């Protein structure tokens, strides 16, 4: 409970006045013993205890009535955010979640969660009187003093964005600010508790808690949770984009809210360089993945567009933006000696009818000079590189290229970044090494965008070499040994596959596994060139470089120039054309559990106020002085009733019945 006029609480001392009067009145009477009164005292001794209790109740009601009047005059308010601490609050630091998920509307379909929390904080701050409000929003991360709570929802720093939130960083920033701010303070964290924005596994939480504990005056921490049922919502997300000749291949995912059941049809609008087309998509369940082919204008060097679905419960996830540049062939390099294996690899890297693909084979001795920056992928079917070739390959990997290593077929002790091959082994007579377990959602053997699986179980090997080292296995042979492993190098990836496309080794040359795996590696390596046209908000690529200026050039929605750097769209950054989209973590609906919230805020003694996301919920704070006035009236009425004189009962005097006279 907080008092807006705490000085008036001194009047609580007036509650002692009835007690003082009672004690003084007792001293005004003298006791004189009179023999005749002894009989009356003896007669009333039985009711003396009840009278004493009655007097105590009367005195208590008088004192409580005066105390209730004093508390009402001090104007008390109660609030889940403000808490029950006495005294006044000097500073409130509001950590506001402005991520895209905060734009979801509650089930009543009125304001978004962000608008609801701003209204509630505004009302609570109005009740606090002269308390200072400092805003740290999730988009900018900067502290800003708000001159008046009334303007809170009109500021560009509280407007909707397409960004994500980072609560460990926000709490650390609040602690840093309060270290230089004297007085009693509170930290209010306003969020929808989306787990991806709280980053519970982040090690920075420990530093944030330590910074709060080190403050001279520890602030109270209040978590305002805006959760609960929401309006029906669908979202569209761009998973990948690449140009193939005069076509743009867009990998899309359409998601529906968790309450959606059965199949539904939803219109998808495609806008490309000013022209629009609409088609209907049938979503069989809660999600649909598809690849959309967009025909590009003839001789088009670059361009941009967007894909959108109709407005629904959250307008921030209904669009995905894309941009493209000149057509770039998918170049690959095969490092292998001439022979059957090299022939299969060349055919898998540039098969007929697979678009604009180029490949070149070189002997291992020529590899260092052949590794260039314009390559998408390298297939290394030779002993692991050393010397200049290893340095060139390392540079290629860190720049974003993909390298597939195949066994050399001979025992070797050479290592590459602590990775090496075991000695070749052969299957028992009449048996094969069979690929029986592989990752269907990640890596080159994952299911297609439409869910079509790769027939990896058809791979059978007579001979194999096991890759060794600290890696991530993505496929295993039947006996559990790794068949395909991955090692990430900065922006690039190295893959090790435990057999070669030679029929004295395996049937890898049948293309069931080799063709899709190599094509996906080439595509992934080539994506780094197209990635210069598409980025996520908040990523390094989305930030201005020295000398650049920002302008948004698409015609979707109503862009806010003051908030441009935090909005998805087609942006021109100096000479760069960039399609910026919301971060993928904003499409993950998992909510932080109370147990996890307890663990990350351990030691802060935080208070959780769950508003359930409804616009009609009560205010965060309530003025309760009327309740104390009602309590005062109750005590006065009770005192008056106790003071009423007690009714006496007149007992009837029994009459003697005359006995009948009998005449004998």
CATH number at residue 568: 2.60.40.10
DSSP annotation string for 23-82: HHHHHH------TTHHHHHHHHGGGHHHHHHHHHHHHHHHHHHHHHHHHHHT-EEEETTT
Q: How many domains does the chain divide into?
A: 4
- Identify the bridge partners of residue 460 per DSSP, sorted by sequence position: 434
Are both 565 and 493 inside the same structural domain? no
The pLDDT value recorded for residue 425 is 94
Q: How far apart are CA 104 and CA 110, in angstroms?
A: 10
User: Tokens 């193939």, residue?
Assistant: 244
Are both 339 and 472 inside the same structural domain? yes
Q: Is the pLDDT of residue 424 over 50?
A: yes
pLDDT digits (tens, 9 = 90+) for 503-546: 999 999 988 899 999 999 998 888 888 767 899 998 888 999 89
Residue 421: inside a domain, yes or no?
Answer: yes
**Which is higher by pLDDT, 107 or 36?**
107
Lowest mean pLDDT among 125-134, 177-186, 196-205, 234-243: 125-134
The pLDDT value recorded for residue 624 is 65
> How confident is residue 631, by pLDDT bands cut at 50, 70 and 90?
confident
- Identify the bridge partners of residue 271 per DSSP, sorted by sequence position: 276, 306
Are both 114 and 212 inside the same structural domain? yes
Q: How far apart are CA 41 and CA 60, in angstroms?
A: 27
- 277-to-272, 281, 285, 289, 305 alpha-carbon distances in Å: 9, 13, 24, 19, 12
228 φψ region: left (φ > 0), alpha (ψ -120 to 50), beta (else): left
- Report the candidate in 458, 461, 457, 459 with the shortest Cα–Cα distance to residue 424: 461
The pLDDT value recorded for residue 616 is 36
Are both 415 and 551 inside the same structural domain? no
Are both 360 and 480 inside the same structural domain? yes
Are both 339 and 296 inside the same structural domain? no
Residue 648: inside a domain, yes or no?
Answer: no
Are both 93 and 118 inside the same structural domain? yes
Are both 568 and 513 inside the same structural domain? no
Are both 85 and 196 inside the same structural domain? yes
Q: How far apart are CA 5 and CA 15, in angstroms?
A: 18
Helix H or strand E segment including 143:
strand 143-146
The pLDDT value recorded for residue 205 is 97
Residue 126: inside a domain, yes or no?
Answer: yes
Residue 660: inside a domain, yes or no?
Answer: no
Q: Is the pLDDT of residue 655 over 60?
A: no
pLDDT digits (tens, 9 = 90+) for 377-390: 999 999 999 999 99
SS3 633: helix
Lowest mean pLDDT among 155-164, 195-204, 388-397, 583-592: 583-592
Domain final residue, candidates 530, 561, 576: 530
CATH number of the domain to which 157 belongs: 3.40.50.410
Q: Is the pLDDT of residue 165 over 70?
A: yes
The pLDDT value recorded for residue 452 is 86
Are both 86 and 141 inside the same structural domain? yes
pLDDT digits (tens, 9 = 90+) for 337-356: 999 999 999 999 999 877 78
Range of the domain at 562: 234-326+537-587
Q: Which two tokens stand for residue 107?
A: 């089930």
Are both 578 and 633 inside the same structural domain? no
Q: Answer yes or no: are the C-beta atoms of 394 and 438 closer than 8 Å.
A: no
CATH number of the domain to which 372 belongs: 3.40.50.880
Q: Is the pLDDT of residue 562 over 60?
A: yes
Q: Answer yes or no: are the C-beta atoms of 90 and 185 closer than 8 Å.
A: yes
Are both 248 and 345 inside the same structural domain? no
SS3 16: helix
Domain final residue, candidates 530, 557, 576: 530
pLDDT digits (tens, 9 = 90+) for 286-295: 889 999 999 9
């Amino acid at each position: 409970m907080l008092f807006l006029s705490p000085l008036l609480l001194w009047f609580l001392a007036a509650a002692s006045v009835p007690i003082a009067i009672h004690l003084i009145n007792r001293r005004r009477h003298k006791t004189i013993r009179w023999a005749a009164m002894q009989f009356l005292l003896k007669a009333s001794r039985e009711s003396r205890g009840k009278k004493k209790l009655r007097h105590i109740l009367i005195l208590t009601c008088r004192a409580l009535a005066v105390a209730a009047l004093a508390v009402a005059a001090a104007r008390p308010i109660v609030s889940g955010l403000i808490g029950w601490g006495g005294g006044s609050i000097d500073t409130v630091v509001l950590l506001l979640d402005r991520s895209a998920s905060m734009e979801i509307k509650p089930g009543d379909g009125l304001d978004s969660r962000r608008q609801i929390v701003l209204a509630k904080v505004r009302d609570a701050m109005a009740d606090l009187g002269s308390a200072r409000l400092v805003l740290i929003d999730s988009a900018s991360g900067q502290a800003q003093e708000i001159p008046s709570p009334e303007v809170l929802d009109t500021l560009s720093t509280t407007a909707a964005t397409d960004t994500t939130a980072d609560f460990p960083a926000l709490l650390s920033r609040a602690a840093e600010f309060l270290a230089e701010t004297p007085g009693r303070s509170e930290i209010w964290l306003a969020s929808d508790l989306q787990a991806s924005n709280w980053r519970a596994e982040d090690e920075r939480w420990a530093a944030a808690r330590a910074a709060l504990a080190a403050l001279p005056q520890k602030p109270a921490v209040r978590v305002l949770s805006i959760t609960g049922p929401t309006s029906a919502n669908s979202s569209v997300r761009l998973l990948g984009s690449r140009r193939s000749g005069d076509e743009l291949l867009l990998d899309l995912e359409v998601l529906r809210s968790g309450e959606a059941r059965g199949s539904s049809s939803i219109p998808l609008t495609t806008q490309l360089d000013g022209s629009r087309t609409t088609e209907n998509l049938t979503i069989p369940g809660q999600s649909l993945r598809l690849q959309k082919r967009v025909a590009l204008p003839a001789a088009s060097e670059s361009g941009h567009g967007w894909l959108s679905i109709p407005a629904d419960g959250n307008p921030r996830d209904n669009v995905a933006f894309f941009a493209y540049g000149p057509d770039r062939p998918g170049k690959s390099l095969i490092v292998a000696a001439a022979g059957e294996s090299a022939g299969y690899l060349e055919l898998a890297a540039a098969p007929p009818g697979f678009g604009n693909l180029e490949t070149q084979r070189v002997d291992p001795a020529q590899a260092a000079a052949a590794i260039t920056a314009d390559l998408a992928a390298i297939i290394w079917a030779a002993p692991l590189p050393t010397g200049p070739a290893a340095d060139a390959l390392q540079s290629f990997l860190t720049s974003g290229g993909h390298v597939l290593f195949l066994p050399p077929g001979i025992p070797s002790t050479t290592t590459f970044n602590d990775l090496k091959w075991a000695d070749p082994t052969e299957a028992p007579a009449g048996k094969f090494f069979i690929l029986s377990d592989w990752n269907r959602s990640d890596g080159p053997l994952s299911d297609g965008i439409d869910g079509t699986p790769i027939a990896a179980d058809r791979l059978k090997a007579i001979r194999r070499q096991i890759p060794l080292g600290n890696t991530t296995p993505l496929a295993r042979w039947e006996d559990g040994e790794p068949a395909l492993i991955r090692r990430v190098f900065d922006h690039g990836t190295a893959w090790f596959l435990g057999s070669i496309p030679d029929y004295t080794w395996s049937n890898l040359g049948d293309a069931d596994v080799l063709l899709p795996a190599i094509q996906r590696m080439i595509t992934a390596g080539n994506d780094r060139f197209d990635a210069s046209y598409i980025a996520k908000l908040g990523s390094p690529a989305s930030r201005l470089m020295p000398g650049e200026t920002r302008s948004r050039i698409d015609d979707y929605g109503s862009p806010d120039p003051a908030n441009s750097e935090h909005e998805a769209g087609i942006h021109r950054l100096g000479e760069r054309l960039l399609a910026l989209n919301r971060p993928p973590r904003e499409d993950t609906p998992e909510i932080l559990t109370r147990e996890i919230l307890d663990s990350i805020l351990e030691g802060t003694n935080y208070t959780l106020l769950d508003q359930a996301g409804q616009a009609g919920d009560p205010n965060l704070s309530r003025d309760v002085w009327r309740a104390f006035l009602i309590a005062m009236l109750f005590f006065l009425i009770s005192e008056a009733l106790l003071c009423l004189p007690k009714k006496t009962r007149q007992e009837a005097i029994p009459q003697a019945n005359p006995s009948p006279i009998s005449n004998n």
